[in-house]
Chains A and B, each alone.
Chain A
Amino acid sequence: MSKVERDEHSGTETTGHEWDGIKELDTPMPRWWLWSFYACIVWSIGYWIVMPAWPLVSDYTRGMLGYSSRALVTEELATVAAGRAEVTKALQETELADVKNNQELYQFAVSGGRSHYAVNCSQCHGSGAQGGPGFPNLNDDDWLWGGKVDEIYATIQYGIRSDHDETRTGEMPAFLKDEILEKGQVNDVTEYVLSLSQEGRDAEAVARGKEVFMNECASCHGENAKGGREFGAPNLTDAIWFYGGDKETVQKTIANGRQNVMPAWADRLDDTVIRQIALYVHSLGGGE
């Protein structure tokens, strides 16, 4: 680069780069740009000193201002909690069933419950609380353990077949696997259960199945098969099925039993949050 080449039109030095006969001029940076650049460098040095900047082996430089975004978030959360202290207290002190008489408190509970539901419950029950096989739909009016807001609250607190001391437990035995019933009896009782909500089942099998049902199933599901909430036994006569209402699924349920688990939330979530979720679930349209 000893020879300096100058552009014949402008007299500016070229960089020596050439594309298709077009040469790049070595025009200096505009002065305002350079000065902005230098100012940025000076600014950054100041920034390193006052703000957290450089990573160290197991720590980082904390800066003179002691800024910490984590501390700020904690602080903001505390402020929010303090701001809500009054309404939170009111929610704690009001009977859950009476909350809806106070529209402001009710709105607070339901909208809070909606977001807590989305974080904690939607993974199993779905974002619209529509559930799925083995996970109850929370929109409808069919409740295994009761649909009053207090009952929903208790279910969320203690869970179903969870490790909590006060958990709600009901057992659906595996009638075939545990050799309580013969294969034919399982088929008969399936026919009977389906006949409660579907027409045109095998009449003979239904009659045999009814006998089996009265002996083995009525203790939990009731003689009229309308279920029993003390055991979380589903109503077998309505239009809603927990695991599915086709013959194969019902047969599978009877043969192998069902032992789904709902975790207990009492130790994981704040009691106010559980109250909010209970009110939200109750508000979905099926609450009793």
Chain B
Amino acid sequence: MSNSPVEKIDVQAVNKKENRSLYVSRKKIHPKRAEGTFRRLKWIIMGITLAIYYVSPWIRWDRGPLAPDQAILIDLEHNRFYFFFIELWPQEVYYITGILILAALGLFMVTSLFGRAWCGYSCPQTVWTDLFIVVERAIEGDRNARLKLDKAPMSFSKLMKRVSKHTSWLIIGLLTGGAWIFYFADAPTLIQEVLTGEARSVAYSTIGVLTATTYVFGGLMREQVCTYMCPWPRIQGAMVDEHSLTVTYHTARGEPRGPHKKNDTWDGRGHCIDCNQCVAVCPMGIDIRDGAQLECISCALCIDACDAVMEKVGLPKGLISYDTHIGRVSKEPITKLDVPFIRPRTIAYAVLLTLVGSIMLYALLTRSALDVNVIRDRNPLFVQLSDGTIRNGYTVKILNKVHDVRRFQVTIDGLENAKAWNQSEGPQFEHIVVPVPGDTLSAIKLFIAAPRSELESGSMDITIIVKDLVSGLTEKQSTTFKGPK
């Protein structure tokens, strides 16, 4: 075999079907470094995603003197969420729900088109594991060197390598956990507090927990997280079908496989030379030639490895490539142009995405700077006054989303001769005027009284109108006025 142009690597997929049992201890994987198109793509995406994560909290956004100047801020203390020009109140968490639904639908859509593209390229677990492997490779060398180091007896140089590797990992973990907290407080202030030891203990404990999880997940557990902890591999089977582009070994072209010497004929044999390069580069430790399997994260490093080998032995690339299940079993692999991207499944996802997205956009564009909620008193339902008048009590919650104080006029519609008054203003008025401080929710106790003769039935529908005296912005809330039957 020494004259073979491509050396066969002695490696076996850790989870080959034949070897699978319900529980086995982890077998350590030392992925070999791949070079090629997809590896480059992964470097680029890693750079972009890490940059977004580390830089985002430092973007400034001027909102005036009374609001924080951080573009993306989850202000737990004051119950506000800021995202550039959007400012959300706790009453508006349905936007978050909407974003989660959009994210889920987007994930379904991408999966039905390209398999687990999310997992292979942009999942934080993948990105940080990749980063950790880069560090590992820089310190301990590539696959063979690492295997040798594992077997070698403990020595000073081995100890030094191990210590510097774990220290580097811990530093990355620390920076990861450290960056997270800046989303929750003013970043420039917080970093000073953290460095001088003045930050609140929750900041330090968050950093601690996230350092630990990053180190353990990215450094120690790696593919175990994807295989055993993540629910997504179990669900994705329902998202992909025979038309989805997944990382695929073309069985019809590759089999029967076997070692190949230079100048041998390719007649009567497949193009796979059984060099195991695809297995050696796989960060999940699988053999793609076994077909689609839940561990595969579609990172396509095996495509890079196999393409390099095909080039060496003078065969066309693409023995392993992004292809559909139909392409996998057909003699002639289908080209990218044949892939039916538009099919009922993707149309359904696209329609749902558009629908939810439009609803979100509509809600956001029509979002009012005033929100009114009326809650009727239920205990007692109504009160009879000494002159026979019936009085109902209400709590009117006025949400002033503007940063300045505003004065609101509260009037009643649908009840003749009604009088209104609030807790501290004894006399009865036709309407009341309430000031609400900026960026505040005010709960106002409102009493409405009407002569018995105005009640047509035991329960009447009325409308409470809240109007901003300056801008004229008006919110109406319907409620009921109850009296004796």
- Nearest chain B residue, comparing its CB with the CB of A99: B424
List residues of A (92-127) whose CB comes within 8 Å of B's CBs. Answer: 100, 103, 106, 110, 126-127
Q: Check B391 against A142 for contact (C-beta < 8 Å).
A: no
Given contacts A239-B384, A286-B385, contact A110 B379 (CB under 8 A): no
A283 to B393, CA, bound (A): 12
> B387 in the interface, Cβ–Cβ < 8 Å?
yes
For residue B440, give the distance in angstroms from its CB to the closest CB of chain A: 13
Q: Check B385 against A141 for contact (C-beta < 8 Å).
A: yes
Residues of A within 8 A of B447 (CB): 285
> A137 in the interface, Cβ–Cβ < 8 Å?
yes
Q: Check B393 against A285 for contact (C-beta < 8 Å).
A: yes
Q: Check A140 against B424 for contact (C-beta < 8 Å).
A: no
> A240 in the interface, Cβ–Cβ < 8 Å?
yes
Residues of B within 8 A of A288 (CB): 426
Given contacts A283-B423, A285-B447, contact A137 B383 (CB under 8 A): yes
Residues of A within 8 A of B378 (CB): 128
Q: Check A128 against B380 for contact (C-beta < 8 Å).
A: yes
> A235 in the interface, Cβ–Cβ < 8 Å?
yes
Encoded as 1 (CB less than 8 Å from any B CB) or 0, chain A from 11 to 32 comes to: 0000000000000000000000
List residues of B (385-411) whose CB comes within 8 Å of A's CBs. Answer: 385-388, 391, 393
Give the number of chain A interface residues (Cβ < 8 Å).
23
Encoded as 1 (CB less than 8 Å from any A CB) or 0, chain B from 426 to 469 comes to: 10000000000000000001010000000000000000000000
> A238 in the interface, Cβ–Cβ < 8 Å?
yes
Given contacts A127-B379, A285-B447, contact A100 B384 (CB under 8 A): no
- Nearest chain A residue, comparing its CB with the CB of B378: A128
A239 to B338, CA, bound (A): 85
Q: Check A110 against B387 for contact (C-beta < 8 Å).
A: no
Q: Check A285 against B391 for contact (C-beta < 8 Å).
A: yes
> A287 in the interface, Cβ–Cβ < 8 Å?
yes
Q: Check B387 against A238 for contact (C-beta < 8 Å).
A: yes
Q: Check B393 against A142 for contact (C-beta < 8 Å).
A: no
For residue A241, give the distance in angstroms from its CB to the closest CB of chain B: 10
> A256 in the interface, Cβ–Cβ < 8 Å?
no
The listed residue with most A CB atoms (<10 A of its CB), out of B385, B387, B388, B393, is: B385
> A139 in the interface, Cβ–Cβ < 8 Å?
yes
Residues of A within 8 A of B393 (CB): 139, 285
For residue B441, give the distance in angstroms from its CB to the closest CB of chain A: 14
Residues of B within 8 A of A129 (CB): 380
> A130 in the interface, Cβ–Cβ < 8 Å?
yes
For residue B395, give the distance in angstroms from its CB to the closest CB of chain A: 13
A103 to B445, CA, bound (A): 13
Residues of A within 8 A of B391 (CB): 139-140, 285
Residues of B within 8 A of A106 (CB): 424
List residues of B (353-405) whose CB comes within 8 Å of A's CBs. Answer: 377-380, 383-388, 391, 393
Q: Check B386 against A239 for contact (C-beta < 8 Å).
A: yes
Residues of A within 8 A of B388 (CB): 238-239
Q: Check B380 against A235 for contact (C-beta < 8 Å).
A: no
A106 to B424, CA, bound (A): 9
- From A100, A130, A238, A287, B379 is in contact (CB under 8 Å) with A130
Q: Check A142 against B380 for contact (C-beta < 8 Å).
A: no
A287 to B383, CA, bound (A): 13
For residue B260, give the distance in angstroms from its CB to the closest CB of chain A: 42
A128 to B391, CA, bound (A): 14
For residue A278, give the distance in angstroms from its CB to the closest CB of chain B: 14
Q: Check A285 against B383 for contact (C-beta < 8 Å).
A: yes
Given contacts A239-B388, A285-B393, contact A100 B424 (CB under 8 A): yes
Residues of B within 8 A of A127 (CB): 379
- From A110, A126, A140, B384 is in contact (CB under 8 Å) with A140
- From B383, B385, B423, B426, A110 is in contact (CB under 8 Å) with B423
Q: Check A240 against B379 for contact (C-beta < 8 Å).
A: no
Residues of A within 8 A of B380 (CB): 126, 128-130, 137, 139
Known: A100-B424, A140-B385, A239-B385. 18 other contacts (CB 8 A): A100-B423, A110-B423, A126-B380, A127-B379, A128-B377, A128-B379, A140-B383, A140-B386, A140-B391, A141-B385, A141-B386, A239-B386, A240-B386, A283-B424, A283-B445, A285-B393, A286-B383, A288-B426
Q: Can you list 10 A-B contacts (CB < 8 A)?
A: A100-B424, A103-B424, A110-B423, A126-B379, A127-B379, A139-B380, A142-B385, A285-B447, A286-B385, A288-B426
Query: Which residues on A are within 8 Å of B, measured CB to CB?
Result: 100, 103, 106, 110, 126-130, 137, 139-142, 235, 238-240, 283, 285-288
Question: Which 10 pairs of residues, A with B, have the shortest CB-CB distance?
Answer: A128-B379, A238-B386, A130-B380, A139-B383, A239-B388, A100-B424, A142-B386, A128-B380, A283-B423, A285-B447
